[in-house]
Amino acid sequence: MPAHALIAAVCGLILAIIGFTIAFRQSFVRRLLRRRDERTRHGLRPLHGGKDPLTYVLRISGIMMMAFGIAVAGMMTVFNLA
């Protein structure tokens, strides 16, 4: 495989790993962003069903980033091996 294909595949893999971390390791990402869970910050249960809105933002953005990384790495690899 040419060097540009390997670089694109590695970048796609990095995006997939970062997306997985954002989506499923939210406590780590919250520490990086210096944001605590709303329930622990106020000590009370929030009005919107007990869920922090940042949870959904992190899940959606993480899954989108992971899917984009997998698509880029997969397509580049398949096109260059074909």
What pLDDT, in 10s, does the model give residues 4-33? 999 999 999 999 999 999 999 988 888 888
Are 15 and 65 in contact, with CB atoms under 8 Å apart? yes
The count of structural domains within the chain is 1
pLDDT value of position 63: 97
The DSSP element (H or E) to which 58 belongs, if any, is helix 53-81
On the question of pLDDT at 71 being above 90, the answer is: yes
pLDDT value of position 33: 85
Structure tokens at 75: 């397509």
Mean of per-residue pLDDT scores for the chain: 85
Average pLDDT over residues 36-57: 67
Separation between Cα atoms, residue 63 and residue 71, nearest integer Å: 12
Boundaries of domain holding 76: 3-81
pLDDT value of position 7: 94
Q: Is the dihedral of CA 54, 49, 37, 66 positive or negative?
A: negative
pLDDT value of position 11: 95
